[in-house]
Structure 1
Amino acid sequence: MIRHCVFLRFRDDVPSSDRQSISRDLETLCAKLPGALTIKSGPNVSPEEGMDKGFSEGFILDFSDASTRDAYLVHPEHQAIAGRIVSSTVGATDGVFVFDMEV
């Protein structure tokens, strides 16, 4: 299984409605993809002050395997959502941190 972790540093001017829309659209996409097992999204609630490096929100997707994750990455709907994310974060891709691991 592949756990795909994405952490975001949204710009202050991005309304919460836009952030929620991104999360909903990701959930809708993952519900359609065979091998996309779970998705969770939300704000960082860690009490470890300063350790988040400004990444205030994120989402974690579990995929059955690497090929399923790879299909998700090139899916046209994912590409559109990713574009919205990059245009909403501080410094574009600097405001996105991605970490995948096998679990």
Structure 2
Amino acid sequence: MIRHIVLVRFQPAVSSAVIDDLFAELHQIEGKLPGLLSITSGRSESPERIERGYLHGFVADFSNWEALEAYQQHPDHKRFGARLVAHAEGGLDGILVFDLPAQTEGSPT
């Protein structure tokens, strides 16, 4: 499984309603792509408070690298990504992406 982790530092003027709309758009891709297992999105609730301005984000789990590639090429993802970049502080500089191969329950490390 591949865990696609995206953290966003939104521009200060971006409202909660716009952020909610962005994440609603993101979730619309669920069920459209084989190998997209789940998406979880929202605002950090970390008690450590060391987000360094990256207060929002999402995690999308994919069955394999090919499924992640299909997601990255999908027109819905490209449209969503452009909107996300437009609202992030500094554009692409306000977004962190980390792709982590993760074991699923019962699989070897």
Return the TM-score normalized by structure 1. 0.95
Letter in 1 for 2:53: G
Query: Partner residue of 2:44?
Result: 44
More helix by percentage:
1
Moved segments of 4+, more than 4 Å = none
How far, CA to CA, are the matches of 2:80 and 2:12 in structure 1? Answer: 19
How far, CA to CA, are the matches of 1:52 and 1:37 in structure 2? Answer: 26
How far, CA to CA, are the matches of 1:36 and 1:26 in structure 2? Answer: 12
Query: Partner residue of 1:25?
Result: 25
SS at match of 2:31: helix
How far, CA to CA, are the matches of 2:64 and 2:26 in structure 1? Answer: 18
- Structure 1: gaps spanning 5 or more residues: none
Aligned residue pairs total: 102
Cα RMSD between the aligned structures? 0.9
1:30 Cα deviation from its structure 2 partner: 2.4
Is it true that 1:99 corresponds to 2:98 in the alignment?
yes
Deviations 1:15-69 (A, max 9, x none): 11111111111111122111100100011111113x2111000000000100000
- Structure 2: gaps spanning 5 or more residues: 103-109
Query: Partner residue of 1:5?
Result: 5
SS at match of 2:96: strand
Letter in 1 for 2:23: S
1:79 Cα deviation from its structure 2 partner: 0.5
How far, CA to CA, are the matches of 2:91 and 2:30 in structure 1? Answer: 23
Letter in 2 for 1:87: A
| Higher Cα radius of gyration | 2
How far, CA to CA, are the matches of 1:9 and 1:31 in structure 2? Answer: 27
